[in-house]
Amino acid sequence: MNILGINAYHANARQVGAQLSFDTRFLGLGPNLRGLHLEVEMAGRREELHADSVVGAHGASPVARTAGWPPIDIRGSAAFFSGVCLAEAGHEVICSDIDSERIAQLQASRMPIFEPHLDRILAAARNSGRISFTADAGEAIRGGEAIFICVGTPPKESGDADLSAIDHVARQIATEARTPKLVIEKSTVPARTGIELRRALTAYTRNGNLNFRVASNPEFLREGTAVEDFFHPDRIVVGVDEESSAADLREIYRPILEHRFHCPVHEGKCPPGHEGKFLVTTINSAELIKHASNSFLALKISYANVIADLCEKIGADVEEVTYAMGLDPRIGAQFLRAGLGFGGFCFPKDIQAFIHLAASVGVDFDILKAAERVNKQRIDRYHEKISKALWVIKGKRLAMLGLAFKANTDDIRFAPALEVLKRLLSEGAQVHASDPEAIAKTKSMFPQALYHEDPYEALRDADAALVCTEWECFRTLDWERAGKLMARKLVIDGRNLYRPQHMRELGFEYYSFGRD
């Protein structure tokens, strides 16, 4: 890796930093780590607990530091990805979290989540001393001139985003800072949060001479491809109200913009033609861009799902329809996959927050409400398919292939598969589930189900196979072999992974979405 080149650039750079946070929850009676979130469910009441974390980037490299460069610092979950990737890009990064157990885990180089490539680059960054972890947020805050806030912004009951973690971090920054800071929102926040953040920083500080600049730098990383997305972004959006803030952010991202890194995904052979745009906007626009993008993608998925329903009624094939639609560059091929719908910690909460934001300023965003409704109905539609195929669910042995909300992650937050699992268990089915990464997290929530690392073991003696996550290993499953193990050759595919004709040729009774 061209560390010296990166150092040289940093030797001239202003010192900047970022603050990110892990959003931590508890579920059930004991601690149940679900990614970086903890939920507490007691006496039927569910509460979300949030823990701040800080990922701090210090200067550029050991070389730059010995040259006397003060550190930078950073703070989240996608933020954790960014922090590790910034270290890989040549920065020096400190991560801090008020969950000292989590910090201890990271200090021991244990990955809290599964994300392709991340373990490798985290180990490399730790070995080279470019990343470290601390429970002392003050230390990280004081160390840098710029701080990225990436705390969780979960939906409140009203659908509005809960910004209490941002407020908490603002107070921490304002009280711990001894020098001027560039404070950058990385969390997904409703538009106009930047204005409130600036106000909070000014209100909470005891030093009226301290200047806090505020900027917005929304995160577009997808789970499962976060590392690739970080190093090959379509766009890096920075919302600023001062030119110097844009200049600082450009410096942070310069290694990416100038392709001055050793790509951990493509091992130096990155596909050509991927030039990410560095976009400078107002803070309000940057905040809106993130919500507008995620909500549009969610809308696109729901649109494809309604087309699938229509296809079923009319006798058309949704794959044929969406494929042809996607060839039109004005529409684009991505996010038109029909099936069980969207889950995860971003789309469901972001769409709700956007609906709420629009309503709060008197703008009618009913199309988003419809997209949300369609998505919730996907589980009903799938359950109907299962009930229709099986007649009676109680007592049936069912193989569930996939638990995570999407492939290549162990994240089960708002995973459609879990909704399906919950209903089947409540109706007395015996569920044998398999997932390459998400078993551990699901097991503690649903101990009644049986879990198998090997999907063929889940399929043994099953009355039906239910495909709930689009993992490649399920797409390429040997159904001839599976068919010999199953009690009944029935597949109900929630992700349209297989060709109906092929499955029928193999002797399966096969149901999917929007296809005969």
- In terms of CB distance, is 223 or 437 closer to ligand UDX? 223
Phi first, then psi: give them for residue 441, nearest 5 degrees: -70, -35
By CB under 6 A, name the one of 346, 439, 491, 503 that touches ligand UDX. 346
Residues 302-307: contacts with CB under 8 Å, at least 24 apart: 302/341, 302/342, 302/370, 302/371, 302/372, 302/374, 302/375, 303/336, 303/371, 304/335, 304/336, 304/337, 304/338, 305/338, 305/339, 305/341, 305/374, 305/375, 305/378, 305/513, 306/374, 307/338, 307/514
- In terms of CB distance, is 341 or 436 closer to ligand UDX? 341
Give the number of other CB atoms < 10 A from CB of residue 196.
16
Q: How far apart are CA 404 and CA 268, in angstroms?
A: 30
What's the CA dihedral at 317, 318, 322, 323 to 10 degrees? -40
Q: Checking DSSP bridges between strand 430-434 and strand 397-401, what pairing results, if any?
A: parallel
By CB under 6 A, name the one of 297, 403, 412, 429 that touches ligand UDX. 297
CB of 1 to ligand UDX, least distance (A): 26
User: Is residue 342 a contact residue for ligand UDX (CB under 6 A)?
Assistant: yes
By CB under 6 A, name the one of 7, 294, 442, 496 that touches ligand UDX. 294
What b/e sequence results for 426-458 when a residue is b if at least 16 CB atoms lie within 10 Å of its CB, and e otherwise? eeebbbbbbbbbbbebbeebbeebbbbeebbeb
- In terms of CB distance, is 299 or 464 closer to ligand UDX? 299
Answer for the pair 297, 493: CB distance below 8 angstroms, yes or no.
Answer: no
- Where does this chain touch ligand UDX (CB under 6 A) — which range of 131-139, 164-172, 252-260, 330-338? 330-338
- In terms of CB distance, is 16 or 336 closer to ligand UDX? 336
- In terms of CB distance, is 223 or 372 closer to ligand UDX? 223
By CB under 6 A, name the one of 168, 222, 260, 262 that touches ligand UDX. 222
By CB under 6 A, name the one of 39, 219, 319, 410 that touches ligand UDX. 219
Greatest CA separation found in the chain?
76
CB of 237 to ligand UDX, least distance (A): 11
- In terms of CB distance, is 338 or 393 closer to ligand UDX? 338
Structure tokens at 305: 């799902």
User: Is residue 223 a contact residue for ligand UDX (CB under 6 A)?
Assistant: yes
The site for ligand UDX, by CB under 6 A, has a size of 20
By CB under 6 A, name the one of 181, 337, 381, 515 that touches ligand UDX. 337
What b/e sequence results for 381-401 when a residue is b if at least 16 CB atoms lie within 10 Å of its CB, and e otherwise? bbbebbeebbeebeebbbbbb
- Where does this chain touch ligand UDX (CB under 6 A) — which range of 85-93, 194-202, 335-343, 499-507? 335-343
Tokens 């038109």, residue? 336
CB of 238 to ligand UDX, least distance (A): 16
User: Is residue 296 a contact residue for ligand UDX (CB under 6 A)?
Assistant: no
Alpha-carbon torsion (109, 110, 112, 114), positive or negative: positive
Q: Any catalytic annotation for residue 311?
A: no
Q: How far apart are CA 121 and CA 333, in angstroms?
A: 31
CA angle 267, 270, 273 (to 5 degrees): 170
User: Is residue 344 a contact residue for ligand UDX (CB under 6 A)?
Assistant: yes
By CB under 6 A, name the one of 154, 343, 402, 455 that touches ligand UDX. 343
List 95, 150, 311, 346, catalytic entry: 346
User: Is residue 405 a contact residue for ligand UDX (CB under 6 A)?
Assistant: yes
The mark string for 254-273 relative to ligand UDX (x by CB under 6 A, - otherwise) is --------------------
CB of 453 to ligand UDX, least distance (A): 22
Coil, strand or helix at 497: coil
User: Is residue 406 a contact residue for ligand UDX (CB under 6 A)?
Assistant: yes
Give the residue numbers marked as catalytic. Answer: 346
Footprint on this chain of ligand UDX (rule: CB under 6 A): 219-223, 294, 297, 301, 335-337, 339, 341-344, 346-347, 405-406
